[in-house]
């Protein structure tokens, strides 16, 4: 496993305490898991994603990641409608291990903009990881 200081944590995105990341782009946001999360999970072998058009509330479980170590739930950091899923992950779930920020899981049209205010910036997320 990586040391905290070896983790890749881009500053242009936001994070959650559950180790998801959010990148706002135009009128949608992409959601994935952080480098820390993929490192802790180990080799990801399956990604269970929602259907396009499904609507979730902030904090709802929207899918699972199965790794050689465990099955982990993933939670939506904002309320909204799923407008896209990363279909490449259906055939190659290990892409998340290769680059967790390039390989987002879902794209969401937010239904409440103030949900984004509750997210952590890079420094706050790093402080959370350091405990």
Longest Cα–Cα distance in the chain = 38
> What pLDDT digit, counting tens, does each position of 66-113 carry?
999 999 999 999 999 999 999 999 999 999 999 999 999 999 999 998
Share of the chain above pLDDT 90, in %: 95
Mean pLDDT (whole number) for 39-56? 98
Write down all domains in the chain, each with its CATH number in brackets. Answer: 15-124 (2.40.50.100)
Mean pLDDT (whole number) for 36-46? 97
Region at 116 (left for phi over 0; alpha for psi -120 to 50; beta for the rest)? alpha
pLDDT band at 57 (very low <50, low <70, confident <90, very high): very high
């Amino acid at each position: 496993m990586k040391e905290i200081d070896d983790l890749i944590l881009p500053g242009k995105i936001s994070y959650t305490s559950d180790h998801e990341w959010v990148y706002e782009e135009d009128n949608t946001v992409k959601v994935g898991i952080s480098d820390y999360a993929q490192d802790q999970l180990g080799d990801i072998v399956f990604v269970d994603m929602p259907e396009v058009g499904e609507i979730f509330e902030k904090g709802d479980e929207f899918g699972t990641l199965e790794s050689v170590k465990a099955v982990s739930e993933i939670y939506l950091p904002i309320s909204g409608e799923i407008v896209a899923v990363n279909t490449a992950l259906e055939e190659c779930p290990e892409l998340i291990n290769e680059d967790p920020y390039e390989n987002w899981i879902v794209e969401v049209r937010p239904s409440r903009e103030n949900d984004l205010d509750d997210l952590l910036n890079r420094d706050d997320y790093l402080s959370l990881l350091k405990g």
